[in-house]
């Protein structure tokens, strides 16, 4: 019988067994019962256990078959773990004798951490100091996972190396600092934004990873439902108006805007963006970087943009009344303006703009539509299986459940790094402004707007996400957590 369910967590790893033994023998020990060791191997003979006799003296061995690709994945993972531990040990030895920020071992350790983060598709790397040890965590699909922990001496050497690479003041540990540097991994260029913050046990350092070559994704590839995709494309076909993507920090608003720009990026369109910072370089788009240090803010740049004869303007974020007023002015004068705004839902974006000080009648006349979104984790297809959510969760959707309803979740495997999820997709809601909405926005009664939206079959973020739950793409618990019900 082929053992296809074996994961890294099942391997009986011991410091006394070099990983090269697994590679040479084409086998890994996965189970021990008293004096009986089970080996998973690609071979079907009884001689493979000779490699393991010295590590399990006096034991009997049983062989089970494993697919070659599966074994290769496990051995590769274990080799990387061994390399990481060796580098940490070498940096620790060096740190006890002299400064290591220029050490080759520290540099190799940092490069390995960055490489692993990129391989795992982490968006951020967190270097955190505690009383007796330090930890490195990766943000994967929106959640933090611990990658490795080690002594504070190693941590201090790593932080010094990072600050040196990012052109930050290595000796300044009492004030927050920002910096950046670039690195090439597997022939791809990555921009790394570095932020340091003093804490009671040492500096907290966070590295944001930006892939220079991963400029933007097509709208059809970021997980929009049919209704959401149709609504966004309908707005993008307009020649003028203000289109907003709303949601909390980390909900993928900027990615949505970049995808919209890619949709609009045609030779007949002059597109200008105002960003802070410019995260990705776009071909055939004029991108302007905000620089507050020299007085070049969003509003200052926007004042001069109209003289550049643009067709489409993208503003990274609407943060204040001045920026909003100029954005509305540009939309009034015949331009399509795209931007983001912090709001919990699509209607909340209207409240946010009114609270900034804009008159509802001005907003209603030029607003093309508002889309609000969240990012939801998608089940790993390699280890997905049926399950039944807890009763208190099912009660929330009791009116939506039928006899054919099935729920799925993933148990975790090497493909998804034991997390149960392998990517994120957008769930969202959108409304397009029309004559009725214009009147309701001017009136300012949220209850009346909700009644009208319900009448025209407006689908909420939760309802949009529920479709993915019923399709088996995500779990009910994940949806409730993301939407915060």
Question: Residues 406, 409, 414, 416: is their CA dihedral positive or negative?
Answer: positive
Residues 413, 383 contacting (CB under 8 angstroms): yes
Give the tokens for residue 96: 């006890």
Residues 120, 112 contacting (CB under 8 angstroms): no
Give the tokens for residue 294: 């020299």
∠ Cα 342 346 349 (to 5°) = 45
What is the predicted pLDDT for the residue at 6? Answer: 53
CA distances from 113 to 102, 109, 194, 207 (A): 17, 6, 15, 11
Residues 6+ apart with CB under 8 A from 412: 7, 380, 383, 418, 419, 420
Under CATH, to which class is 219-483 assigned?
A: alpha beta
What is the predicted pLDDT for the residue at 212? Answer: 65
Residue ranges covered by each domain of the chain: 1-96, 99-211, 219-483
Residues 41, 65 contacting (CB under 8 angstroms): yes
Distance (Å, whole) CA 74 – CA 279 = 35
Distance (Å, whole) CA 324 – CA 327 = 5
Helix, strand, coil shares, percent, the chain, to 5: 40, 25, 35
* CATH 3.30.450.90 assigned to 99-211: yes
Q: Which residues of the chain have pLDDT under 50?
A: 1-3, 101
CB atoms within 10 A of CB 153: 16
What is the predicted pLDDT for the residue at 2? Answer: 45
CB atoms within 10 A of CB 208: 17
Distance (Å, whole) CA 111 – CA 410 = 31
What is the predicted pLDDT for the residue at 25? Answer: 84
Report DSSP letters for 41-89, one per residue.
ES--SS-GGGGGTTTSTT-EEEEEE--HHHHHHHHHHHHHHHHHHHHHH
Rg, Å, the chain Cα set: 27
What is the predicted pLDDT for the residue at 238? Answer: 94
Indicate the pTM of the whole model: 0.79
Helix or strand (DSSP H, E) at 435:
helix 435-443
Fold classified for 1-96: GMP Synthetase; Chain A, domain 3 (3.30.300)
What is the predicted pLDDT for the residue at 200? Answer: 94
């Amino acid at each position: 019988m082929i053992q296809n369910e074996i994961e890294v967590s099942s391997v009986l790893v011991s410091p006394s067994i070099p990983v090269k033994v697994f590679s040479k023998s084409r086998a890994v020990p996965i189970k021990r019962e008293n004096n009986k060791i089970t080996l998973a191997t690609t071979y079907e003979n009884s001689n493979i256990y000779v490699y393991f006799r010295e590590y399990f003296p006096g034991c009997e061995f049983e062989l089970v078959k494993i697919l070659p690709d599966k074994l290769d994945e496990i051995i590769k993972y274990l080799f990387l773990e061994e390399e990481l531990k060796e580098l940490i040990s070498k940096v620790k030895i060096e740190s006890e004798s002299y400064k290591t920020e220029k050490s080759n071992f520290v540099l190799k350790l940092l490069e390995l951490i960055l490489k692993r983060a990129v391989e795992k598709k982490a968006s951020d790397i967190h270097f955190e100091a505690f009383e007796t040890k330090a930890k490195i965590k990766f943000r994967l699909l929106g959640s933090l996972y611990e990658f490795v922990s080690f002594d504070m001496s190693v941590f201090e050497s790593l932080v010094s190396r990072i600050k040196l690479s990012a052109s930050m003041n290595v000796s300044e540990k009492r004030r927050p600092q920002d910096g950046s540097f670039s690195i090439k991994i597997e022939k791809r260029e990555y921009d790394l934004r570095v932020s340091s913050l003093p804490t009671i046990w040492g500096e907290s350092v966070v590295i944001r990873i930006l892939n220079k070559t991963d400029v933007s994704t097509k709208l059809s590839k970021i997980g929009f439902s049919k209704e959401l995709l149709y609504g966004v494309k309908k707005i993008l076909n307009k020649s003028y108006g203000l289109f907003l993507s709303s949601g909390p920090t980390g909900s993928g608003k900027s990615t949505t805007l970049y995808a919209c720009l890619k949709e609009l990026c045609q030779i007949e369109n002059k597109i200008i963006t105002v960003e802070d910072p410019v995260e990705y370089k776009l071909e055939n788009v004029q991108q302007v970087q905000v620089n507050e240090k020299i007085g070049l803010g969003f509003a200052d740049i926007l004042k001069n943009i109209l003289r550049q004869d643009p067709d489409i303007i993208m503003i990274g974020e609407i943060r204040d009344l001045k920026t909003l007023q100029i954005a509305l002015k540009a939309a009034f004068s015949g331009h399509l303006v795209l931007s983001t705004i912090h709001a919990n839902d699509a209607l909340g974006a209207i409240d946010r703009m009114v609270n900034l000080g804009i008159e509802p009648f001005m907003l209603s006349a030029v607003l093309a539509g508002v889309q609000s979104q969240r990012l939801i984790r998608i089940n790993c297809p390699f280890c997905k299986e049926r399950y039944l959510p807890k009763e208190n969760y099912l009660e929330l959707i009791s009116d939506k459940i039928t006899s054919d309803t099935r729920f799925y979740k993933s148990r975790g495997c090497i493909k998804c790094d034991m997390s149960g999820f392998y990517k994120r997709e957008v769930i969202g809601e959108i409304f397009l402004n029309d004559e009725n909405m214009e009147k309701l926005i001017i009136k300012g009664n949220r209850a009346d707007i909700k009644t009208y939206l319900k009448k025209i079959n407006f689908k909420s973020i939760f309802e949009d996400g529920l479709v993915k739950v019923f399709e088996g793409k995500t779990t009910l618990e994940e949806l409730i957590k993301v939407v915060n019900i």
